[in-house]
Amino acid sequence: MIPLSTLGDGEDAVIKKIGGKPDVKRHLADIGFTIGDTVSVITEQNGNIIVKVKETRIAVSKEMATKIYVM
């Protein structure tokens, strides 16, 4: 498993684990990050990573992306 923040533009991966405190996990689940879903990196801009998950584009900070482990 690797952090989402290490993927490059255009790469796809499956979410395997979400780390962090309970409130961080809940926030990520609320915005669409769930274990088993595919996430696609669109691009990185100004320290944020733009991803596509569940047919929705979402911007997450690099710090938050290090808590999402993919394979």
22-70 residue pLDDT tens: 999 999 999 999 999 999 999 999 989 999 999 999 999 999 999 999 9
- Contact indicator for 67, 20 with CB cutoff of 8 Å: yes
Q: What is the CATH number of the domain that holds 45?
A: 2.30.30.90
Residue-number span of the structural domain to which 55 is assigned: 2-70
Split into its structural domains, the chain has a count of 1
